[in-house]
Amino acid sequence: MTNQAKDCLFCRIAAGEITPQIVRETDRTIAFNDIEPQAPVHVLVIPREHHPSIGSLATADPELAGLLMAEAAAVAEELGLVDFRLVTNTGAQAGQSVFHVHLHVLGGRPMRWPPG
């Protein structure tokens, strides 16, 4: 797996070419506010390395997959979220629009399922 994929928005963020509102970062992950929030708190957590989906990440680097989950939990804790939703989409039909694995940390309001 390459460190970056050509024309990947999140790889450009990881490389520092685009600077979102960063919430938390480590040497292997970055968490930043979503530009189209779906809840009062909506943070994306990404690995710095390019992996297109959670499945490909889990296969290629299970340790990083676990670290990504731990970082999402740390973001929720830092933001004072006791109850939160953690979402990842895999594939266009599931709503994935950026094909660089990312976790959505959503909270700050009741998160009902199904939505609506």
**In Å, what is the CA distance from 100 to each residue of 33, 61, 96, 106, 109?**
16, 14, 9, 18, 27
Residues near 105 by beta carbon (within 8 Å), at least 6 away in sequence = 31, 41, 42, 43, 44, 45, 72, 75, 76, 79, 81, 84, 85, 86
CA atoms within 13 A on the CB side of 22: 12
With beta carbons less than 8 A apart as the criterion, state whether 50 and 61 touch. Answer: no
Confidence of residue 113 (pLDDT cuts 50, 70, 90): confident
Q: Which tens digit of pLDDT belongs to each residue from 5-48?
A: 778 999 999 999 999 999 999 999 999 999 999 999 999 999 99
* pLDDT of res. 72: 98
- Which domains does the chain carry? 9-107 (3.30.428.10)
What mean pLDDT do residues 68-75 have?
Answer: 98
Residue 1 in this model has a pLDDT that exceeds 50 = no
102 a catalytic residue: yes
Catalytic entry in 42, 50, 100, 102: 102
Q: Which tens digit of pLDDT belongs to each residue from 85-109?
A: 999 999 999 999 999 999 999 999 9
